[in-house]
Amino acid sequence: METNPLIGITLSNWDSQVKRITTAFDNYKDEDMYLQVAPGRNRIIYILGHMTAVHDMLLPLLGLGERRYPNLDEFFITHPDSPETALPMPGELRTYWKDVNAAISAAFRQLSAEEWLDRHTMVTPEEFEKEPHRNRFNVLLSRLTHISYHLGQLALVNK
């Protein structure tokens, strides 16, 4: 739906970054998903679950729908990674990841350029009037940075 070239470029970048990190996750066998980025740091499976939960949060944050997997918060948002915690299986998380990103991508394309500049749901109209940069587009930009951060972590994993 967008007609603004900057929105189109950013959405193309989103698709590219999601594809890159999906490929990175898919390059690990299920048993490798328990490797740590570095000693005492997050495991690959935790990063996958965390990214899935964060992307799932985008739907209500941007006013695009309800979350699909709020049950992931307990494992991947509320608590840090711990090898003692029993997490969902890698295959299950991979399915959730792809499902959430397909829903987000479709919803993103329904927004007009003007709608991208509307406030997100965590800011009140009064706050938004004072701080118009707290809009949907800025959330998209911050999530692109988030993907890049975790792609960098995955590059550090030694198989």
Helix axes of 5-26 and 44-61: crossing angle, nearest 10 degrees: 150
Can you give the pLDDT at residue 52?
A: 98
Task: Give mean pLDDT, residues 140-159.
Answer: 94
**How far is the CA of 32 from the CAs of 36, 37, 63, 81, 157, in angstroms?**
9, 11, 36, 16, 10
Domain CATH number, residue 11: 1.20.120.450
Provide, rounded to the nearest whole percent, the portion of the chain with pLDDT above 90.
Answer: 91
Q: What is the pLDDT of residues 120-143, one digit of tens each?
A: 999 999 999 999 999 999 999 999
Can you give the pLDDT at residue 40?
A: 84
* Overall pTM > 0.85: yes
Q: How far apart are CA 104 and CA 56, in angstroms?
A: 8
Q: What is the pLDDT of residues 38-80, one digit of tens each?
A: 888 899 999 999 999 999 999 999 999 999 999 999 999 999 9
Question: Phi first, then psi: what are they for 44, rounded to 5°?
Answer: -60, -45
Average predicted confidence (pLDDT) for the chain: 95
Total number of domains constituting the chain: 1
Q: What is the pLDDT of residues 90-109, one digit of tens each?
A: 999 999 999 999 999 999 99
**Residue 1 pLDDT exceeds 70:** no
Query: What domain range is 83 assigned to?
Result: 5-155
Can you give the pLDDT at residue 2?
A: 54
